[in-house]
Structure 1
């Protein structure tokens, strides 16, 4: 369950970021509406009422350790770099 929620949150964050970029590139009523819809989705998923709080809640959740398929924890974010 946590893994599917993490995937959904990552997708929602990505879609919001894409909508923001598109709205910043060429703002139209459609791009503004898409941005607001993506923000609303993030707020709904995280139980917040403002997009900044939603982004914070999502990234905090994704940064926590999530049990992998073999019971070992793994980071929800970027992989650690190994080597020199």
Structure 2
């Protein structure tokens, strides 16, 4: 069985003024939809799923060492495992 995962990335630019300790965001955000297709057994293996998603996340400069990324991967794994049973 094949699995299709579509992710909508909304990238917002945040600027930090170190001296004033102020963060500001711009009104122009970038929206990107990325679709991944792979065998369902991939979502039963965290390492393989990471190998598929890693290049896209790093290309978009998304921190893959953060808790949010690992929670996201874990959620995909849970949904994939439910679908395979």
Query: TM-score with structure 1 length normalisation?
Result: 0.30
User: In proportion to residue count, which structure has more helix?
Assistant: 1
Query: TM-score with structure 2 length normalisation?
Result: 0.29
User: In proportion to residue count, which structure has more strand?
Assistant: 2
